[in-house]
Structure 1
């Protein structure tokens, strides 16, 4: 955790509750964590201002919206200079189908999570990446067959447990 961020037990409790119940009112949140509404609101605003809370949104049940394809793709870049990696990152970010991009260590450079309508849509995305001359040397893709579970909450207790507050 950034040394400039001074978070206490109450801040972490706010974060835990907001992860589970992002739509709760300030009054409900204040009651849950044992603060009055004004200081609770001030803490939430502070957590937003310092960038710990990046935003609020809805988690969509994709399967209920229709068929789609999730593909994890490993990307190897031909040249490992920082500007070459950045060129790939900037180019990949332009594709709305690329949901997540991780620069990783190991046998390849990037791991992408791509969501498309079907296999041909995925091929169009990959063709676009290859044609954009982003320095891709090779790639391997893995189609997700099913998602046994998906978590949206960071395990605050396990990562930043009470002993660290």
Structure 2
């Protein structure tokens, strides 16, 4: 694991909020000249700590949509069953996130689609494709309360607790 110092964390913090900041402005904000700042940025990218740069899109401005969380339970729990299911998740653009979880269900999926009918068609496709889905539970988001890309970088990098 790459050892991060305060400047690395500052770079990550700034990029988390302002992904389109110029390299010159970033260097100035972390009190470095352009070349050393660029080297740090490349090192963070090469190490896979910075996975990409993305736009935060306001879906409401594009059109009607729903967000659904699905708790999924597989029929079998062999390694190949998990692999089949996980490969199937990659084939559906509406499935924007999928997490393997412990504690009752096997996976939690986040699905963004046009409406309930299109969600149900997705579920029907998964069931017909025989990807091992035994049971699923649907949770429709009625309103977003908190959604943030502001990860607690300092807390994670230092291994501390919020009360320290």
Q: TM-score, normalised on structure 2? A: 0.93
Match of 2:75 in 1: 78
**What secondary structure sits across from 1:80 in the alignment?**
coil
Deviation at 1:150, TM superposition (A): 1.2
Match of 2:4 in 1: 7
- Among candidates 65, 86, 95, match of residue 92 of structure 2: 95
What's the Cα RMSD here? 1.6
Match of 1:42 in 2: 39
Q: TM-score, normalised on structure 1? A: 0.93
Is 1:92–1:129's contact at 8 Å kept on the other side of the alignment?
Answer: no
**What secondary structure sits across from 1:73 in the alignment?**
strand
Match of 2:61 in 1: 64
- Among candidates 39, 51, 62, match of residue 54 of structure 1: 51
Are the structure 2 counterparts of residues 40 and 133 from structure 1 closer, same or farther at C-alpha, using a change threshold of 3 Å? same
Is 1:11–1:43's contact at 8 Å kept on the other side of the alignment?
Answer: yes
**Cα distance in 2 between the residues matched to 1:123 and 1:66:** 19
**Cα distance in 2 between the residues matched to 1:36 and 1:108:** 50
Matches within 5 A, 1:122-137: 122-137=119-134
- Among candidates 114, 117, 132, match of residue 111 of structure 2: 114
